[in-house]
A and B are shown apart, each in its own frame.
Chain A
């Protein structure tokens, strides 16, 4: 019953984010209406990092426990992370079209870095699909995850800041870690970040519960 109310609460929160993100003044007056994508694009990039971090945590746990469920948790989080990474890429590309006039440019470090990240985790998913033995699949992909994760903060936070970029810089916090947003922007952004994070954990839990039911049925049969 509590779960039902929490889900309805999440629906209201995201519906509220959608309503206020389109009815309040645009976050950046210079960029204009296109800057509203900020309320969705940044949470998607944030969830990419969170999901890949959870993938790493369960990968390490799998190497300790050799539990099939931990392997599934790790794999499912990587799939969700890749979905959020694709959504961040698409929303970023739409923003690029409006502000820079092109959907894609290889000279932009942010675009290049997210593309490399997609390739790294695309390779992880392909690797899993190519190994038929469950335990071997778990061990190899968990080891891959340990080497793949350090590239995530590098490609999302470090590399784009080391190179010249047209991407809006310091849109959330400045170099002294103070919020750069004012007025109605900050509360809407924080609620958006929080509610999309809750949505990710709901999706993660839902997949794991469904897998547990499937495992129980498989053991019965």
Chain B
């Protein structure tokens, strides 16, 4: 079960990284749309 927690935390970190990237990209696109 402890290895399950390790994999779970690794997955959470990867998902948080992907989400932050997309969240910031979305914000950048919104700023560009406003400037347009």
| Interface of A toward B, CB cutoff 8 Å | 3, 7, 10-11, 14-15, 18-19, 21-23, 33, 202-203, 206, 209-210, 212-213, 216-217
Contact = CB atoms under 8 A, between A and B. Distances in A.
Given A22-B5, A216-B36, A7 B23 contact: yes
11 contacts: A7-B19, A7-B26, A14-B15, A18-B12, A19-B8, A22-B5, A23-B4, A203-B22, A206-B25, A206-B26, A210-B32
B34 to A, nearest CB: 10
B19 A22 contact: no
Interface in B1-36: 4-5, 7-8, 11-12, 15-16, 19, 22-23, 25-26, 29, 32-33, 36
B19 A213 contact: no
Given A206-B22, A213-B29, A18 B8 contact: yes
In the A-B complex, the 7 residue pairs with the closest CB atoms: A22-B8, A213-B32, A22-B4, A18-B11, A11-B19, A216-B36, A209-B29
A21 B15 CA distance: 14
Contacts of B7: 22
B29 A210 contact: yes
Interface of B: 4-5, 7-8, 11-12, 15-16, 19, 22-23, 25-26, 29, 32-33, 36
Nearest to A216: B36
Given A14-B19, A19-B8, A206-B22, 8 more contacts: A7-B26, A11-B16, A11-B23, A22-B4, A23-B4, A206-B29, A213-B36, A216-B36
How would you classify the secondary structure of chain A's contact residues: helix, strand, loop or mixed? Answer: helix
Nearest to B32: A213
Given A14-B15, A202-B22, A213-B36, A33 B4 contact: yes
Nearest to A10: B19
B32 to A, nearest CB: 5
A33 B11 CA distance: 16
B12 A19 contact: yes
B10 to A, nearest CB: 10
Contacts of B19: 7, 10-11, 14
A195 to B, nearest CB: 11
A216 B29 CA distance: 13
Nearest to A36: B4
